[in-house]
Amino acid sequence: PLTHPKPHWTVELARASGVEIIGDIELFCRQRTLLAPAAPFIAITGTNGKSTTTALTAHILKSAGRDTQMGGNIGRAVM
């Protein structure tokens, strides 16, 4: 909706009005920085293998006894 194939009219209106446009991940990261800046956080990005890498990382951390949550477009949503 922000850029493909062209910005939605609501995005254009928001931009013209000076409204900041952010996504759920950006909102989550900002709030996390305010509320729990010292909490460990792992972000996994890329083109291929993100879900597998995320699931494997969460499994390893849980198996090691770490308090672990997995979220994003796999498992629990970030918001």
**Domain residue extents for the chain:** 1-38, 42-79
Q: Say what the pLDDT of residue 1 is.
A: 59
Are 24 and 31 in contact by the 8 Å Cβ rule? The answer is no
pLDDT (tens digit, 9 = 90+) per residue, 7-18?
A: 889 989 999 999
Low-confidence ranges of the chain (pLDDT < 50): none
Q: Say what the pLDDT of residue 59 is.
A: 97
Are 56 and 70 in contact by the 8 Å Cβ rule? The answer is no
Tokens coding 21: 């446009």
Q: How far is CA 9 from the centre of its chain?
A: 25
